[in-house]
Amino acid sequence: MAAGKRRELFTILETSADTERDSASDSEESPLNLSTDVKWFEIPFRKPDSDEEEELEEDEEEDEFKSVAAAETADAASYIAGGGCSIILVTDNGIKHEEETEDSYYAPANNCSETTSNDSDIDFSDLEEEQNDLFSPFDDLGEDCTSPDFWGEPDQIISIEPFTAISGPQHALGDEADTRDYFRLLFPDSLFEHMVEQTNNYALYRQRRSGKVDAHWHPTDLREMRAYIGLNILMGINQLPDYGMYWATDIFIGNAGFKKTMTARRFEKLNQNIHLCDRESEPVPGEPGYDGLYKIRPLLDVVQGTMWEAYAPNRCLTVDEGGIAAKGRFSPSQYMPSKPLKKGLKVWMLCDSKSGYCHRASIYVGRPGEDTGAVGYRVVTGLVKGLEGKHHHVFMDSFFTSVPLVQRLLRDGLYACGTTLPTRRGFPEALRLRNVGKLAQGEFFQCQRGNIVATVTRDNKVVSCLSSNSAPGIVGICPSRQRDGAVLGVPRPLPLLLYQENMRGVDLSDQLRECYQVGRPCKKWWRYFLWFYVNVCIVNAYIVLRESRGGAPPPGFSGKQFTQRHFRIRLAQQLIGDYQGARGMERAARKRHADSPVEYGHRLERMSERSRRCRNCTNKGLRHESVFGCKICNVHLCRGGCFSEFHK
């Protein structure tokens, strides 16, 4: 139907380092976040006078286009300049022509209305999610994208509103703020307090359900919970196969800081009892109001709000799927062949294209038999809720992109760009593979409907794109290394270049998060999401600190560069503080009260019904058991002279 012609008027877009910095900044109106080594051409569409002329021109243009694409940048510039063409400039008003002609595709921006396996013992099938347009997401768009006359020639003017919204970190922290202050923006103290309350409640719930008293459990508090999270952060930096090895007696394996903070048994008890919800009021599957994410709902309610408020979204955003490595059989586990993590729990993420800051994350729980187009429509519209009318540019892959979705976003004042499937609803029939035939590398065809441009091109393989933020006919000549090692200039249409430069936000967030894992593998599905959100909050806090301080380290740091590793170590140290668990307090009390243990409350009392080894005899290499001991020191001792000997 419509093709990107390759001969007539070429217009070059000259860029420099200064122009690139201006165009890459989110404060500017131009959507071109592209590298400076790209050579630009504009190829306006011209209808042929007759079918014979079109066939004749195609044969002549093919050879000429290939020669121009393979030429050096200076030769191409001189070739085009010889044709007497104008120059496109990037100015404060966006992209415009130096000489306004009827071939210009950019108009003054006035408005945007132009036209897995389920064999798990965990059941998520009844989960109720927020969904406004799940069953009929395309009924309210007003235009039928499947109509034969919906698409037209790529010769229409597009309108792009400037991005003027406030973006970046949003907080009132001063220059003296440290890592814990930035982490508190994302993970507030109220969440720690809630974890302490529910962990103590769950420990009592387990004892009532089993009918036995856990002699090794005592209620936790806020300081201990912070220290517990801090130790888990350090485990992601100093990784060992088993968490018990951190308390090993081997000087080359054991960690003195871990031993000082709390005992291995106490850490294990916290692992067993940590909880986020009230188990006694948990709804049963099938009941009205059942929530499959009930176990982490208090965490989601707090963290989703803080992530959104701590950092205002920039102009270019990315929507993609993120993976969580999980061991075990869980119904929401998914196979993701395009990700480094092939199988795991899937999370939809909205991230900043430049920094990787995660603004929102939506947990995928699986809906068998649901159309992927409807899933993508629902996910994207849910993630960008609250951005209507702010003219952000949203980039996504072929799982999400569809014509109805691009229409909906454009109607809401948001621009979109992404690859798509040519078989998806509304994609122009003329651009399907059976109609365009075999494409040469760099060859492309386009159709247009208002701001929406459909493109099919061949790079390394055939790629189909949909965009509402790029004019048709604009091509960048990019260097590409061939199989024989030669570097040739390969033409790529603007939608594909924008996609390649900005579709990296979620991948960047995943890279920062996967460098240092938080938490250990377990059998409970909800704990994977707990540690996921803790890790995301750490990454987001690091990004907020880095951008707030302009790359300068926090006060007291003497290194040359403050990296994410330094941020995590410093955060863990501040969370742990001077906390000492039972073992540390036992040693300190023993040292202070050695002269008169009874005066400070140390008495020989019955500890439990079950006898355990005497600590004093064990220290001497003997094996004696007793039901008596010292409750303050939390040790069993023989009724003879072991009590006084131990306290001396």
Look at residue 74 and give its three-state secondary structure.
helix
Q: Work out the angle at residue 39's Cα, subtended by the Cα atoms of residues 428 and 108, and round it to the nearest 5 degrees.
A: 60
Cβ atoms within 10 A of the Cβ of 256, count? 9
- Closest listed residue to residue 495, CA positions, set 524, 474, 519, 525: 474
What confidence tier does 350 reach under pLDDT thresholds 50, 70, 90? very high
d(CA 487, CA 151): 37
Q: What is the pLDDT of residues 403-460, one digit of tens each?
A: 999 999 999 999 999 999 999 989 999 999 888 888 888 889 999 999 999 999 988 8
> In the predicted model, what is the mean pLDDT of residues 15-29?
39
The confidence band for 342, taking pLDDT boundaries of 50, 70 and 90, is low
- pLDDT attached to residue 186: 97
Residue bearing tokens 């850490």: 267
Residues 204, 346 contacting (CB under 8 angstroms): no
Asked if pLDDT for residue 372 goes beyond 80, the answer is no
380-398 pLDDT, tens digit per residue, is 999 999 999 999 999 999 9
Q: What is the percentage of the chain residues whose pLDDT exceeds 70?
A: 71
Beta carbons of 466 and 454 less than 8 angstroms apart:
yes
Q: Count H helices, E strands: the chain?
A: 19, 22
Task: Tell me if 473 sits within 8 A of 455, measured CB to CB.
Answer: no
- Summarised one tens digit per residue, pLDDT across range 33-87 is 555 455 555 555 544 444 544 444 445 544 544 444 444 333 433 332 333 222 2
Q: What pLDDT is stored for residue 503 in this prediction?
A: 94
Query: Is the model's pLDDT at 29 over the cut of 50?
Result: no
Question: CA–CA separation, 292 vs 332, rounded Å?
Answer: 11
- Please, which pLDDT band fits residue 596 given cuts at 50, 70 and 90? very low
Q: Which two tokens stand for residue 380?
A: 């994207």
| Residues 179-204, mean pLDDT to the nearest whole number | 96
Where is average pLDDT lowest: 210-214, 353-357, 465-469, 598-602?
A: 598-602
User: Per residue in 617-647, pLDDT tens?
Assistant: 888 888 889 999 988 888 899 987 888 888 8
Residue 145 scores a pLDDT above 70: yes
Can you give the pLDDT at residue 59?
A: 52
CA–CA dist 400, 212 (Å, integer): 52
Percent helix, strand, coil in the chain, to 5, is 35, 15, 50
Residue whose C-alpha is closest to residue 65's, from 482, 475, 499, 496? 475
* Length of the chain (residues): 648
Q: Are the C-beta atoms of residues 325 and 527 closer than 8 Å to each other? A: no
- In this prediction, residue 168 carries a pLDDT of 94
Band of the pLDDT at 330, cuts 50, 70, 90? low
Nearest to 31 by CA among 469, 493, 477, 503: 469
3 state DSSP class of 311: strand
pLDDT tier at 373, thresholds 50, 70, 90: low
Looking at residue 237, its pLDDT comes to 95
DSSP state, residue 41: E
**DSSP label at residue 3:** B
pLDDT for the residue numbered 277: 94
Mean per-residue pLDDT over the chain, rounded: 78
Whether the per-residue pLDDT at 3 is higher than 80: the answer is no
pLDDT at position 9 over 50: no
The whole-number average pLDDT for the span 325-336 is 60
Q: What tens digit of pLDDT does each residue of 232-244 get?
A: 999 999 999 998 9
Q: Is the pLDDT of residue 20 over 70?
A: no
Look up residue 516 and give its DSSP letter. S
Using alpha carbons, select from 499, 446, 501, 482 the residue that is nearest to residue 69: 482
pLDDT, one tens digit per residue, over 476-518 is 887 777 778 788 888 889 999 999 999 999 999 999 998 998 9
pLDDT per residue as tens digits for the range 352-366: 999 999 999 998 876
Please state the rounded mean pLDDT for residues 110-139. Answer: 41
Beta strands in 329-411 (DSSP E): 333-335, 343-352, 358-363, 393-396
pLDDT reading at 188 higher than 70? yes
Q: Letter for the amino acid at 262?
A: M
**Alpha-carbon distance 549 to 174, whole Å?**
10
Measured between its terminal Cα atoms, the distance across the chain in Å is 94
Checking phi first, is residue 492 left (phi over 0); if not, alpha (psi -120 to 50) or beta? beta
Is 521:334 a contact under the CB 8 Å cutoff? no
Cut 0.95: pTM above it? no
The confidence score (pLDDT) of residue 476 equals 86
CA distance 359 to 540: 9
On the question of pLDDT at 114 being above 50, the answer is: no
